[in-house]
Amino acid sequence: MTAVSADPPAAVKRYWFTPLAAIALVLIGCLGAPSVGHAQESKTPDRYTEVADKLLSLTKLPLPDCRWHADVTHPEDGSLDDSAWKPISLGANFESGVQVFRCWFTVSQKVNGYDVRGANLKFAMDLQGDGMTMLSIYSNNYSIYRGNADTLEPVSLTTSAQPGQRFLIAVRLEVGDQPRKLVRSEILIEPPASRPDPALLQMEILSLQPILQAYPDPQRRKQLDSAIAAIDFSKLNFGDQAGFDASLQSAQDQLQALQPWVRQFKIRAIGNSHIDMAWLWPWTETVELVRNTFRSALDMMHEYPTFTYTASTARAYEWMEEKYPQLFQ
């Protein structure tokens, strides 16, 4: 697999690894690292992992106060007394049926010394297991998501967090015939656009590792070391948020020197969908699923001209050619 290189949008040029680019670089390390003529480094240096973990600790916060109950009317109602509900945490299993859980969260001014005022806060949740699970998610009595648990992305709670804000996150789960396990329930913190983002810098540091492992280069390694050394976590111990942000920006500026070298590595990624031809539904419904999927793919191709798509079954294309010729064209 290899990826079309393109200039990042203006809004993200200060971070030259977009999320897709970071994933791409990780894939290079996993799939494309050469084994001939290059000495392989055994693993990511501990100092890089330590810094990356510290940066990540500033950008996420586990939800500590969550409680479970069988289905109730309006679980999003803040006046509902949930004090007698069963406490839950990561690893909790949800059996088949409809049920709810609620989490209370109060915004602090700082997380591990990092100022979160004005940040964008998102709720992130993941369930492990097979089978269909539908979710209805509410924040302070407002619906913020309704859909399949497997397609859930982090959802925004506020775009300008303020200390003392309190959120009630309520989730109704409609679990199918397979139980699901809660493996993620946390708040993600994205600073205002005017400040450097620790999560993006963390991703950049880790994304460089596969390339440097595959193509050892003392000069590039020294540049990365210099950038990491510029990050000054001690500023947070003294409440100097501006100083810490400046150190992140300094690290970011130093990483810019690696941009020409990094951009020579490419991955081509092709969007793909596999649709079961007739699994627990009539084939006519499968045709509609294919049509809707192809329409979504075309919408993305119009929005992102370099996006390429393929379906895994030739019959899907035949259906579109027979029933929706304009869409097929």
Prediction pTM value: 0.73
Domain parsing of the chain, residue ranges: 2-57+197-267, 60-190, 273-328
Give 86-113 pLDDT, tens digit per residue. 999 999 999 999 999 999 999 999 999 9
pLDDT at res. 130: 87
pLDDT at 35 over 50: no
Residue in 43, 92, 88, 37 with CA at minimum distance from that of residue 63: 88
Question: Each residue of 302-322: pLDDT tens digit?
Answer: 989 989 999 989 999 999 999
21: pLDDT strictly greater than 80: no
Extract the tokens encoding 216: 């050892």
DSSP 211-277: HHHHS--HHHHHHHHHHHHT--THHHHTT-HHHHHHHHHHHHHHHGGGHHHHTT--EE--EEE---S
CATH 2.60.200.20 fits 60-190, yes or no: no
Structure tokens given for 70: 């069988």
